[in-house]
Structure 1
Amino acid sequence: MMDVLQQLAYQLTYHREDPILLNSAFFFYYFVVFLFCYLAVSGSKQGRVWVFSLFSLYFFYKACGWYVGLVILSAVVDFILSNRIYREPRLSRKKLLLGISVVANLGMLFFFKYTNFFIGIVNDLHLGHLTPLQIFLPIGISFYTFENLSYTIDVYRGEIAPVKEFMDYVFFLSFFPKLMMGPIVRAADFIPQIAKPYKLTAEDVGKGMYLILTGLFKKMVISDFINQNFVQYIFDDPSKHVGLECLLGVYGYALIIYCDFSGYSDIALGIARWTGFKIPPNFDSPYQSTNITEFWRRWHISLSSWLRDYLYIPLGGNRKGKVRQYINLALTMLIGGFWHGASWNFIFWGGLHGAALALDKLRITFLKKRQYVFKGFSAGFWKVVGILITFHFVCFCWIFFKASTFADAWTLIHQIIYDFQPNVMGTLYEGYKPVFWVMGMAFVLHFLPRSSENWLAKRFEKMPVPASVVVMVVFLWFIIQVKSTQPMMPIYLQF
């Protein structure tokens, strides 16, 4: 009996080496209990808010321990400041209160995420000999910090009115499906839904199940399998692999990061639909993009739109001339890269994308001035060329995003350029046949037209409840059979 209680206590408490994940076995039991409690109070707005908030805070505790206090603290600070901003008639005081919110949120983010990065710079420049601090990066801090900032900024701009009940704001900020890895949800999109009566339609059930199942498939079948059985070997030491193997590893990583992150986002969107909330999609088949501007409209949509609305446009956007526009693009993407992590690799990655966006604006301006219009076969040909160029540029940037150091990134690029060895393709295929088949399947699925996805989602919506249960059980059994023995931490969990 004691062993059972000890095991139960272990499962219910936080352990850094075993955080709760949306694809973990513990989450299944957690979600069943949550759903039972949520449905029991579904007729009461306050009941839904309290049940969801408490379960969300416990979820965050299971993800990063007592750092759950940061979510509560930031909720308290921004709830008070937003209401003060809204009531304050004087513009100067509004700006002061907004400044306090920005400093408080960014200060917390910078302390936990960037302190040791700047200590390293000080030491490298021989400006001092500082000892790095033992700081644990709280999971999800980048996401809920940006949500806090957008909320107070929108209140300051007069675009939304602040919530009057503190628990409503806690609910918005801690909403567990998106807490750890996004999407970055705007208060204007989410908060009005809190007061709406809970009503689950056939469309919600079917669409939610479709999103959850496809998300699990992306994450656990495609991403984890390719990573564990091929890509991680390449990036651990690129010098041990020929150029062709390295190039295929980069293609594999492009699939991994997309399926990992979009899979998690899809699960979050699906759970939200089941609980009566609609969250905007975070991905839109980004590798179908014909240029880098389109890519950033399709990739991590919630972040790119946040950077546009709260950084690029306030910097001046395209309103102050072409040169200033290019500078604004570069600064926005550099900061976007830095948001991903305290590393020169991420800053360089952001810089590459900023430069590419500026060049793309030049290309668009050039074509408009000369009134180039591609039609017929020419339009189709240049669309394919655009997709190939954009995809390979994005893959080139992923090298710096994934590699542990600049040295590893340049070693991998060196292998591709100077030691390609295409003659080893047959040997590689025999050694990694299942991986290459999964990669091929993933690319085919990614490039299917939107109509095929809509058709499949509609089939789920039209299923009777018993059939839906059977499909869910069979799919989960399949996932258990093919999933990796060692659970893979989501990539964006580190951000």
Structure 2
Amino acid sequence: MIDVNKLLAQLLYNPSDPVLFNSAFFFYFFAVFLLCYLAVSRSQQGRVWVYTIFSLYFFYKACGFYVGLVVLSAIVDFNLSRWIYNTTSHQVKKSLLIFSIILNIGLLFYFKYTDFFIGIINDVANGHITPLHLLLPIGISFYTFENLSYTIDVYRGEIKPVNRFMDYLFFLSFFPKLMMGPIVRAADFIPQIHQPYRLNGEDIGKGMALIVGGLFKKIVISDFIYQNFVQYIFDDPSKHTGLECLLGVYGYALVIYCDFSGYSDMAIGIARWTGFKIPANFDSPYQSSSITEFWRRWHISLSSWLRDYLYIPLGGNRKGKVRQYINLALTMLIGGFWHGASWNFIFWGGLHGAALAIDKVRIDSQKKRKTERSGFTAGLMKVGGVLLTFHFVCFCWIFFKAATFHDAWSLIHQIVYDFQPGIFIELYDGYAAVFWVMVLGFVLHFLPAKAELKMAGVLGRMPLAGSIAIMVIFIWLLVQVKSTQPMIPIYFQF
């Protein structure tokens, strides 16, 4: 007999067991969703309603009744955007836009930064204000930015507001990208709602390649390296040699990339299977030969959002070189603060902002010189640029990951003053599996894009039964290697 209480416990929100793409519950959820979605696939409104209901339930399973914030945000910005579009007064339009920005940023600020500023006030003014210890609603940073881009685009006259509230709620709550992005623009997404649902071999193959690859990156590479090595290093760097700390930093570079890009790939693949194309969020960022190129390849949806809605409105490169460098630095400082209420994130953003400004000086200088390099010299410079960029990014990851500045500087101190390379053999004996997974991760990362396209093509040419069989076998293999407790994705906290 079915245990009703146990079934209800599975269906209700459990704060200690949020739904994740790599959790067992999600596979059942997704199977039921697909059956319902396919049943109404010929009806545009039917698809919208089914997708929205399942998306809101998915969000409820992830963070409980905070799902109401998504609905409330949708109601507010749906109506404000229509008001902005329909009014003829420029002053009223601007006032409504400012009101929308204040509401959205205010909601994000309240949940994410209140305790941070209470702490500052207490430190500076010797105050005794009690922190609120608010639970951060999952995904609020992502759907706040989507709301803002929507109302700003309507204000600029770049898009027309949607006529039906359910279409906007569907866009905002779309579960594949709701909690960890990518940050999707309404102008890219909403027109796809009205297109008929058609799935071809390319969609099946590309979607499966993204889902399978994303699960592999998240579970086999990221979770394994973090649980078996990286977490021990960052818990207390002072207890480890410099060699261990350096390898821990390299490991974390893989962990955060495979964790976030793996989740993004799964989101894009799931969306592809349901008839929606979401732009890629990562493009092999550690292959970058400059910090400017890195930010074109890393978290692309956030980088482009900051460029279009912050950097350019600040003046971009239109107000002279010095102002451009300041705008770059300020944009990255704010981008760092977006990641979390911590001085570590602000410092991380500041480092990247300063590096982008310096790199811009380099690029401008090269344009003036117009020097031509031979093939060998250009190749050597490319390799050197990749190594330098990678190690700068890794240095910044130390502050991103460390719990405090003290821990970050402690790790750096161990690398500089207590390296002890002689313990490598002993270290290898203890962590051989971890190091080989790290090697595998970097090798896969540096494979040419053609390899992924070829895999997607092979999967796309397979019959449906074969594709299903591959997916089932792959999931079974993942179950054998994954940890008993699914690891919370890193970007859940943002």
| One-letter amino acid matched to 2:5 | Q
SS at match of 1:374: coil
1:282 correspondence with 2:281: yes
- Corresponding letter in the other structure for 2:152: I
| Deviation at residue 351 of structure 1 after TM alignment | 0.0
Alpha-carbon separation, structure 2, partners of 1:256 and 1:372: 38
SS at match of 1:132: coil
Deviation of residue 474 (structure 1)? 1.1
* 1:167 aligned residue: 166
Return the offset for 1:89: 0.6
Distance, in Å, in 2 between the alignment partners of 1:252 and 1:134 is 31
Question: Are positions 1:138 and 2:137 aligned together?
Answer: yes
Q: Distance in 1 between matches of 2:374 and 2:42?
A: 56
Q: Which residue of 1 aligns with 2:148?
A: 149
Matched, 1:291 2:296: no
TM-score normalised according to structure 2 size: 0.99
| Partners of 2:256 and 2:490 within 8 A in 1 | yes
1:375 counterpart residue number? 374
Could you tell me which amino acid in structure 2 is paired with residue 116 of structure 1? D
Q: Specify the alignment match of 1:402 in structure 2.
A: 401
Q: In the TM superposition, what is the alpha-carbon distance from 1:473 to its structure 2 partner? A: 1.3
What residue is the counterpart of 1:202 in the other structure?
201
Give the 5 Å matches for 1:13-412.
13-412=12-411
Is residue 483 from structure 1 mapped to residue 476 from structure 2 by the alignment? Answer: no
How far does residue 46 in structure 1 lie from its aligned partner after superposition?
0.6
Could you report, residue by residue, the CA deviation over 1:52-85 in whole angstroms, capped at 9, with x for unpaired residues? 0000000000000000000000000000000000
Q: How far, CA to CA, are the matches of 2:346 and 2:122 in structure 1?
A: 19
Q: Which amino acid aligns with 1:492?
A: Y
Q: Deviations over 1:202-227 (max 9, x none)?
A: 11111111100000000000000000
* Deviation sequence 1:244-295 (CA, Å, 0-9, x none): 0000000000000000000000000000001000000000000000000000
The alignment's C-alpha RMSD in Å is 0.7
Q: Distance in 2 between matches of 1:300 and 1:467?
A: 33
**Cα distance in 2, alignment partners of residues 252 and 276 from structure 1:** 36
Instruction: Tell me the secondary structure at the aligned position of residue 314 of structure 1.
Output: coil
Q: Which amino acid aligns with 2:380?
A: F
Partners of 1:336 and 1:400 lie apart in 2 by 15
Q: Which residue of 1 aligns with 2:3?
A: 4
- Quick one: distance in 2 between partners of 1:374 and 1:474? 50
CA distance in structure 2 between the partners assigned to 1:472 and 1:106 by the alignment: 41
For 2:167 and 2:449, the matched residues in 1 are separated by 35
Q: 1:460-492 CA distances to partner (integer Å, 9 max, x unpaired)?
A: 111111211221111111101111222110000
Larger displacement relative to structure 2 (201-210 or 162-171): 201-210
Q: Distance between the aligned counterparts of 2:15 and 2:219, measured in 1?
A: 21
Give the CA deviation at 1:134: 2.9
Residue 373 of structure 1 and its aligned partner are, at CA, apart by 2.4
Q: Deviations over 1:108-158 (max 9, x none)?
A: 000000000000000011252100003100000000000000000000000
- Which residue type is aligned with residue 223 of structure 1? S
| Distance (Å, rounded) in 2 between the aligned partners of 1:473 and 1:453 | 20
d(CA) in 2 for partners of 1:304 and 1:479?
32
Superposed displacement of residue 38, structure 1? 0.5
AA in 2 matched with 1:392: H
Structure 1 vs Structure 2: percent identity of aligned residues?
A: 74
Unaligned stretches of 5+ residues in structure 1: none
d(CA) in 1 for partners of 2:374 and 2:317? 29
The answer on whether the counterparts of 2:222 and 2:258 sit within 8 Å (CA) in structure 1 is yes
Residue 119 of structure 2 aligns with an amino acid whose one-letter code is G
2:202/2:456 contact within 8 Å kept: no
**Aligned mates of 1:206, 1:311 — CA distance in 2:** 37
Over residues 422-481 of structure 1, what are the superposed CA-to-partner deviations in whole Å (9 max), with x where a residue is unaligned? 101111111000000000000000001111111111111111112112211111111011
